[in-house]
Amino acid sequence: MADTTPDKKILTLADVKKLAEDPNKCIMIIHNHVYDVTKFSEEHPGGEEVLKEQHGKDASDAFEDVGHSFDAREQMKAFQIAELHPDDHKKNARSRPLVINSTDYASNHGAISWIKWVIPLVIVIVAIIYFRAMARPDPDINRPPKAI
């Protein structure tokens, strides 16, 4: 193990892989923090299987793809067992802070992330309606001029 001081345990990727050799455990890395969710997996609202699939892996992207709530992010603190050694930090990870305040959370994640696509969609729909209305032929255009 790289460092086993009581307050700040640091594990290398190799350490994490070693821990994950135990198939009865459920160990994963999320945003460079190492979690043991063995005891939580049965209670996980998203199901036990999805957590087991991430056993021994970096689950940062899978975790974010779900759009976990602020509460879930608070809850996960209880399962953190170590930090990942800086040398093993994922170079191209979509790194986002693990726990952020609720205002930042709202602008980045989950519940209101739909705004990101609803607003452009509304703009496109309004633009289509506008251009169709403008392109409609003038019904009077081919009518011969009235005889005086």
Nearer to ligand HEM, 35 or 85 (CB): 35
Antiparallel, parallel or unpaired: β 9-11 and 80-84:
parallel
50 forms part of the interface with ligand HEM (CB under 6 A): yes
CB nearer to ligand HEM: give 15 or 41.
41
Contact between 54 and ligand HEM by CB under 6 A: the answer reads yes
CB of 128 to ligand HEM, least distance (A): 31
| C-beta closer to ligand HEM: residue 52 or 87 | 52
The rounded radius of gyration (Å) of the Cα atoms in the chain is 26
Counting contacts by CB under 6 A, is residue 106 touching ligand HEM?
Answer: no
Q: Is there binding between residue 82 and ligand HEM (CB under 6 A)?
A: no
- The C-alpha atoms of residue 131 and residue 135 are separated, in whole angstroms, by 6
Which residue sits closest to ligand HEM, CB atoms considered? 46
Residue 42: C-alpha distances to residues 12, 19, 92, 125 (Å): 27, 20, 31, 44
**Cα(110)–Cα(64) distance, integer angstroms:** 9
Residue 41 touches ligand HEM, criterion: CB under 6 A: no
Query: Among candidates 66, 68, 64, 53, which has minimal Cα distance to 20?
Result: 53
Q: Nearer Cβ to ligand HEM, position 43 or 138?
A: 43
DSSP 30: E
Task: Give the one residue of 37, 56, 105, 109 binding ligand HEM; rule: CB under 6 A.
Answer: 37
